[in-house]
């Protein structure tokens, strides 16, 4: 996998820097800024029989497309204020041949708990199943004529060539102890966040910096383990939801006021019991989204974690627009 450099920080600021053994040229070339390209949007299907997968597809942060020519350097600015510098002659076909015709960069960026819920992209760590606090989730890919492009690898001296990114930091996010996490994609599903091979994140003046190997089948996240776990007693925290044999249910929890979200796993075959280990005394918010026979149901409940407590959020019938509005209020 080719390694690229992700620079995360304040909008409008492009930073260049070196990581030992990873960088040759740390001075970004002056670059034009390509326009953001918005592909035609197909008409939305009717809201009847709306599955949660369709709800996510229609309401999560959209993929942003940027057209560029790969034989010159470019600087791309996203809707969220992130800036990505693309060096010239970097991208190649899977065969290793450098591309020269017009390419497209696909970018998705998630910065908040509502973004995470709408995209169904929680911050669960895989081992152990625990909650991370996010400084931003990113997916970045380059394509040409339906073919996923690769980084062109190393320079003649054998060192990696890099992309550079600067993006706005999440307001109020504690940057101490942040690391880089990867979300692998295997057999059609995301597995949960795993610590990346190069986990170092450096923060200065509101800018997070990390070296990232870019992968078309991965997401990347600037994260830290929730400090609520430190020295706390963990207890099984259960949520009960109505039966949904004809539908599907998603159950999340987040620490109130913090930028992290964990998706609970079902603890029984009936799909009405959900569980996660949480620290005693923590103030949490439970979020439930259901689709039964195409009808959406939504509910939340704030509670304090105690041993033996079972949370039963009240679910109400909502339209698609109401569900989005209520999630945006989290």
Query: With bands split at pLDDT 50, 70 and 90, how would you rate the model's confidence at 317?
Result: very high
User: Is the bond preceding residue 128 a cis peptide, omega within 30 degrees?
Assistant: yes
Backbone phi, then psi, for 325, in 5-degree steps?
-60, -45
Q: Domains of the chain (ranges plus CATH)?
A: 4-47+61-225 (2.60.220), 228-328 (2.60.40)
User: Residues 280-291: pLDDT tens digits?
Assistant: 999 999 999 999
pLDDT in tens, 179-231: 988 886 555 455 689 888 778 887 877 777 777 766 666 788 889 999 999 88
Of 51-65, 122-136, 191-205, which has the strongest mean pLDDT?
51-65
Q: Taking the CA atoms of 228, 232, 235 and 236 in sequence, report the sign of the dihedral they define.
A: positive
Average pLDDT over residues 154-169: 62
Least reliable range by pLDDT among 14-28, 166-180, 247-261: 14-28
| b/e per residue 60-80 (b: at least 16 CB within 10 A) | bbeebebebebeebbbbbbeb
Helices (H), 8-141: 52-59, 113-119
Split at pLDDT 50, 70, 90, the class of 81 is: confident
To 5 degrees, how large is the angle CA 16–CA 21–CA 22?
Answer: 45
Q: What is the pLDDT of residue 1?
A: 46
Which range among 127-141, 146-160, 175-189, 202-216 shows the weakest confidence by mean pLDDT? 146-160
Residue 16 pLDDT > 80:
no
| Cβ neighbours, 10 Å, residue 274 | 24
Q: What share of the chain is helix, strand, coil (3-state, %, to 5)?
A: 10, 45, 50
> What distance in Å separates the CA atoms of residue 120 and residue 301, rounded to the nearest whole number?
19
Which tens digits make up the pLDDT trace of 257-281?
A: 999 999 998 887 777 889 999 999 9
Which of 45-59, 106-120, 311-325 is predicted with the least confidence, judged by mean pLDDT? 45-59
Select from 167, 220, 215 the least CA-distant residue to 195.
Answer: 220
Q: Is 32 helix (H, G, I), strand (E, B) or coil?
A: coil
133 neighbors 223 (Cβ within 8 angstroms) = yes
* 20/238 Cα distance (integer angstroms): 46
CA pair distance 41, 43, nearest whole angstrom: 6
CA distances from 129 to 23, 42, 264, 296 (A): 34, 38, 9, 28
Q: What is the mean pLDDT of the chain?
A: 80
């Amino acid at each position: 996998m080719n390694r690229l450099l992700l620079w995360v920080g304040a909008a409008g600021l492009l930073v260049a820097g070196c990581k030992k053994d990873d960088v040759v040229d740390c001075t970004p070339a002056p670059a034009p800024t390509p326009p953001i390209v918005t592909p035609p949007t197909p008409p939305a299907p009717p809201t009847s029989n709306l599955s949660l997968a369709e709800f996510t597809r229609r309401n999560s942060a959209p993929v942003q497309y940027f057209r560029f020519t790969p034989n010159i350097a470019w600087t791309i600015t996203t809707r969220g204020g992130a800036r990505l510098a693309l060096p010239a002659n970097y991208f190649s076909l899977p065969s290793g041949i450098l591309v020269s015709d017009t390419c497209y960069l696909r970018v998705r960026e998630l910065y908040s708990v509502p973004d995470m819920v709408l995209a169904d992209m929680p911050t669960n760590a895989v081992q152990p199943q625990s909650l991370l606090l996010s400084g931003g989730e990113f997916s970045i890919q380059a394509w040409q004529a339906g073919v996923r492009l690769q980084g062109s690898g190393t320079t003649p001296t054998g060192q990696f060539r890099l992309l550079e990114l600067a993006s706005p930091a999440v307001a109020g996010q504690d940057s101490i102890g942040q690391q880089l996490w990867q979300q692998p994609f295997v057999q059609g599903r995301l597995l949960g966040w795993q610590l990346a091979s190069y986990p170092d994140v450096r923060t200065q003046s509101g800018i997070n910096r990390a070296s990232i190997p870019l992968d078309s089948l991965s997401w990347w996240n600037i994260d830290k383990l929730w400090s609520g776990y430190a020295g706390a007693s963990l207890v099984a925290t259960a949520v009960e939801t109505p039966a949904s044999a004809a539908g599907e249910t998603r159950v999340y929890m987040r620490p109130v006021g913090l930028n992290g979200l964990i998706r609970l796993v079902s603890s029984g075959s009936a799909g009405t019991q959900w569980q996660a280990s949480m620290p005693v005394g923590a103030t949490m918010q439970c979020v439930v989204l259901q689709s039964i026979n195409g009808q959406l149901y939504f509910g939340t409940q704030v509670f304090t974690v105690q041993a033996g407590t079972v949370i039963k959020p009240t679910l109400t019938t909502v339209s698609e627009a109401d569900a989005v509005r209520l999630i945006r209020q989290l």
